[in-house]
Structure 1
């Protein structure tokens, strides 16, 4: 908790001319008229000094209710408002103080400073000039003179800033406006003008900051909410865009441009959300279709075009549509060559197409931009194993099927090749030996690829029939022809019955 003395010092440091009244002749002049009012004023003063601002404010409210013409109560309530950061509420109280006691220069000086912060230069200058004409003390005279000079300089800077803005010299305009806002921190119009400068200089983040401040500084500032929503929309943050445009419509439900933009953002937001839900559910074709709808809804903003490409790349890859995935991913990566997600998706598609060197390159590029990604590390290791494996035995190539082939496709390919290469079809001894070797390869491929566990190991870069790939050198060895004698690949209802004859 802040100690009373520390709080008092803090208040005085922020409001140099507030609270000084408490030790001046004005306080004594009004005491004793109303005991209840005096009690509330004294209690409020103690609570204010202790930093208990809400409680202090309550006592000042009661004092004003008891004596609506007590300037001291208004002045102290203004002090509480300022300590709470409620400058707008303080100004009417300070004005009431000046109305009740025109020679109260501290209140007039304080009001002038607040008006200056709001950018109301003419009104602020009028207060400063009246202070100088009312026999102020030395400190008040010094402060009023300094504030008048500052106000004059701001007026000049404002004229130069507007001229630069109208000439579209946004960098120069920003410089002038920066100077003005060092003092006129509550001027909504100046902040909106600087936001336009930021937008035209390609700094939307800074523009959003100024516009959000402007929306709070000016009542019913629908323009600020509309502009912020448009910026978020351009940046691709459709959810924030929707939130801001709703604020515009809360203030003015009949504003046409806000309503039109609201309908556009709401539709786009729903399409993207639905597409992502489809992806989570593994409905990749539906997701692709929905993202095509996004492109129709918003064809002109580059962010959304890129989003559609990136997510379509992901969907094609996950759906094992490798040719389409490589095409779309490549188009996207030409624009964003270091996009980690697209690199991973294309690498997976390359693996499906058995383009292992290309997959390795993509994983390595992705790893450079995301060193701790476990998925990249595992994908790279898999691609490297598969490349090494390709130099040995590739069961998919033996059967002439793709890595994405279903079990029935594998069995069909196997039967066709087994019929073609069965040794009984050959009479020449050399051809028979070559056929035996080929038949063994075909049978081994079928054994691995129709067994889910063995196929999974093979897809991970391990040959489940190779003793060297087993831990400790164990595991199955490749079968010789003698082990396949009498084996009928078409025994499951097929019309073929082979009789094997060996010398």
Structure 2
């Protein structure tokens, strides 16, 4: 029997002791006193410790839920920390408990005005103006015209008069900065006029003003995407999925942006590793994923153009650089890549033209100035002695190809194989062939020459000619053996 009684009362004892603990907490708070909580809240508010102030006002309201001052002071803290929507219920409660509290009604009217809730705001201002409150009358004069302005703005947007609507909406938002409807309307205007950044700035506050605002996060993500800002687009769409993991519109967009970003980044990494063929494949895949948005198309065209230029594939370079330049005629990267391709074909005037076009843009990288200077030097150099032409090799020729060409020409033009009038011509030709081999098989000298400087030109080197295969002022006799 004792066991049965114990088992019966045990749940009641648990409830009792739980209630006892709760009652102790209430008693402890009551012992501190509502007035003390209000005083501490005031002190913390004055010190800027808003969370602590909020805690004590919460306790004061818990201790005395009919004290209108506690609600008013908590509303003041909410306003100080930017939580106007949280302050509104407290102000409603204040006015319910003390209908003649003018300051609370003024604060509520101002919040309603900022939220764009003009009908309710006007009710508060009119009631204050009716009893001669000066601020109520002045705010009434501010709020009344906004009702008309809002109707006019809606009409302009509905009729696609976006340019006219924007300044009107700007005036309204200055008075109603928390109006979700007006910000969304202006964002729509900005979007249709191509000012996506301003549209984003208008939509971002609405993600805070409206709880679980997945539509705003999705729209902001789309705007970033159209601007070519894939990282920002991903960040925003993840916020949408955080609120609703199965969102029917956010999830497909997330998958597409993530895939595109992975392709572009993968292509860039491969390009930096000089794995140009693989990089081209990645960028072409990105074009398949997104073939209509300007930024991503242009980026892919430019990157493919640069890769083909590095591979010394002239026709392909011209094709892809041409696509990029058609989209952006002053694109420095595409123009520089095509200019480099022209240089490999010794089309120096065409290279100079591309570099000059790139330089005509307001902001261009240093490589444009460097490339233009180099192309101009190469053009001038080509009008003198061109070692590549002397050996009959391309500018992209390997050392092995250069050596092979030298041996063939040296054998053909060796002075020992010529006589009479031809011997003098052969001697000059042989000197040029030997000089070409000297420069193009020496990495340092070849680099100088490729940059438009002849390392064997005494005028450019500011000294005696460093190359003379026969010795200064000496005769020579060639012995050439064809073994």
- Report the TM-score range of the alignment, normalised by the length of the smaller protein: 0.7 to 0.9
Partner of 1:217: 209
Query: Shift of residue 73 of structure 1?
Result: 0.9
2-structure distance, mates of 1:336, 1:302: 10
Q: Match of 2:184, SS? A: helix
1-structure distance, mates of 2:438, 2:477: 12
The partner residue of 2:325 within 328, 333, 352 is: 333
Query: Shift of residue 340 of structure 1?
Result: 2.5
Partner of 2:431: 440
Asked whether the 8 Å contact 1:226–1:244 carries over to 2, the reply is: yes
1-structure distance, mates of 2:346, 2:465: 28
How does 1:302-451 map onto structure 2 within 5 Å?
302-369=294-361, 373-423=365-415, 426=418, 429-451=420-442
Structure 2 CA distance for partners of 1:168 and 1:437, relative to 1, 3 Å: same
Partner of 2:154: 162
Deviations 1:365-393 (A, max 9, x none): 43454788543343333323322222221
The partner residue of 2:450 within 442, 447, 459 is: 459
1-structure distance, mates of 2:116, 2:243: 24
The partner residue of 2:171 within 161, 172, 179 is: 179
Query: Shift of residue 110 of structure 1?
Result: 1.5
Partner of 1:78: 75
Partner of 2:61: 64
Asked whether the 8 Å contact 1:346–1:359 carries over to 2, the reply is: yes
How does 1:75-224 map onto structure 2 within 5 Å?
75-131=72-128, 136=131, 138=132, 141-224=133-216
Indicate whether 1:271 and 2:258 are aligned: no
Query: Shift of residue 415 of structure 1?
Result: 3.2
Structure 2 CA distance for partners of 1:257 and 1:412, relative to 1, 3 Å: same
Farther-moved stretch of structure 1 (324-333 vs 449-458): 324-333
2-structure distance, mates of 1:344, 1:329: 9
2-structure distance, mates of 1:86, 1:366: 51
Q: Match of 1:220, SS? A: coil
Asked whether the 8 Å contact 1:363–1:376 carries over to 2, the reply is: yes
Structure 2 CA distance for partners of 1:120 and 1:359, relative to 1, 3 Å: same
1-structure distance, mates of 2:348, 2:309: 15
2-structure distance, mates of 1:397, 1:445: 9
1-structure distance, mates of 2:311, 2:462: 33
1-structure distance, mates of 2:459, 2:149: 81
2-structure distance, mates of 1:181, 1:371: 36
Query: Shift of residue 192 of structure 1?
Result: 0.9
Farther-moved stretch of structure 1 (336-345 vs 219-228): 336-345
Asked whether the 8 Å contact 2:332–2:365 carries over to 1, the reply is: no
Superposition TM-score, scaled by structure 2 size: 0.85
Partner of 1:42: 39
Query: Shift of residue 404 of structure 1?
Result: 0.7
CA-based RMSD of the aligned residues comes to 2.7
Partner of 1:486: 479
Partner of 1:4: none
Query: Shift of residue 194 of structure 1?
Result: 1.1
Deviations 1:261-290 (A, max 9, x none): 111111111011111111211122222221
1-structure distance, mates of 2:312, 2:40: 76
Partner of 1:501: none
Structure 2 CA distance for partners of 1:461 and 1:163, relative to 1, 3 Å: closer
Query: Shift of residue 402 of structure 1?
Result: 0.8
Indicate whether 1:260 and 2:252 are aligned: yes
Deviations 1:123-177 (A, max 9, x none): 32333344456xx4x3xx3333343444332222222222221111122333332
1-structure distance, mates of 2:124, 2:220: 36
Asked whether the 8 Å contact 1:466–1:478 carries over to 2, the reply is: no
Structure 2 CA distance for partners of 1:178 and 1:367, relative to 1, 3 Å: closer
Query: Shift of residue 323 of structure 1?
Result: 4.1
Farther-moved stretch of structure 1 (358-367 vs 341-350): 358-367
2-structure distance, mates of 1:200, 1:355: 45
2-structure distance, mates of 1:434, 1:63: 110
2-structure distance, mates of 1:468, 1:112: 85
Query: Shift of residue 112 of structure 1?
Result: 2.0
Asked whether the 8 Å contact 2:116–2:179 carries over to 1, the reply is: yes
* Residue correspondences, number: 452
Asked whether the 8 Å contact 1:464–1:476 carries over to 2, the reply is: no
Structure 2 CA distance for partners of 1:411 and 1:482, relative to 1, 3 Å: farther
2-structure distance, mates of 1:123, 1:385: 76
Q: Match of 1:255, SS? A: coil
